Amino acid sequence: MSTQQQPRLVEVRQNVLKQNDLLARNLRERFREAGVFVVSLVSSPGAGKTALLERMLTQLRQEECAVAALVGDLATEADAARLARSLAPVRQITTGTVCHLEAAMVERALEGWNLDGLDLLFIENVGNLVCPSSYDLGENLRMVLLSVTEGEDKPLKYPTIFNTADVAVITKTDLSAAVEFDAAAAHANIQLVRPGMRVFEVSAKTGEGVDELLRLLCSRSAESVKAVSG
């Protein structure tokens, strides 16, 4: 008779990112209670997240919208300094070697921050088109950026991040002609990986297209506030 015991299989059924998802759910509830609409920005490094954000913060402040931003970066605080020029409250999240933001980092960055007076909060993720797709940050809307200099096929190369986003923004359109950007192909590729997604074309440099994007954010923000109070 053998005393050797066979390993046995026990069912567990646990999402590996459960901890992050729970924190994200708490954050989303906190944002809802405070009446703040939260938009995250994801893109590859250098697609123009900070430039677009600087432009959006400045314009929204001029329209007397209460805005703020959290900005994730591996090492520097340069982005927060750039965004602070808009005079909106900005906090930097320095992730060290971590290539993405997690809900816990957002929670820590928000410590002691009164969200009640805010209309819109932006969260700029670390420049990366892979890892951020796995992590819910509690945001209401995820915006994926694609710059014209990156090429039209980016959505096909990184389908997951495009599929998990709610809105796509094509940036640096002032450079379209110089790089012979094929806008129709870019739109088609986005629709292939995320059918029905709204796509905006903007230039943070000239401001072209930014108004239209802000109109969407403001109307979505107003809808969510109405949903809470109604």
Using CB under 8 A, list all residues that contact other proteins: 3, 5, 7-17, 19, 98-100, 130-134, 156, 159-161, 163-164, 191-196
Instruction: Report the DSSP beta bridge partners of residue 5.
Output: none
* 220/5 Cα distance (integer angstroms): 59
Strand (E) or helix (H) holding 103:
helix 103-109
CA-closest candidate to residue 115, choices 41, 5, 225, 19 = 225
Kindly tell me which of 58 and 134 has the beta carbon lying closer to other proteins.
Answer: 134
* 187/175 Cα distance (integer angstroms): 17
Kindly tell me which of 136 and 201 has the beta carbon lying closer to other proteins.
Answer: 136
Instruction: Report the DSSP beta bridge partners of residue 169.
Output: 145, 200
Kindly tell me which of 59 and 134 has the beta carbon lying closer to other proteins.
Answer: 134
Task: Name, in order, each residue with C-beta under 8 angstroms of 36's C-beta and a sequence gap of 6 or more.
Answer: 115, 118, 119, 120, 121
Instruction: Report the DSSP beta bridge partners of residue 141.
Output: 39
CB of 184 to other proteins, least distance (A): 17
Kindly tell me which of 122 and 135 has the beta carbon lying closer to other proteins.
Answer: 135
- The conformational region for residue 213 under phi > 0 = left, psi -120 to 50 = alpha, else beta, is alpha
* 50/157 Cα distance (integer angstroms): 23
CB of 173 to other proteins, least distance (A): 24
* 48/175 Cα distance (integer angstroms): 12
Kindly tell me which of 2 and 114 has the beta carbon lying closer to other proteins.
Answer: 2
DSSP 100: S
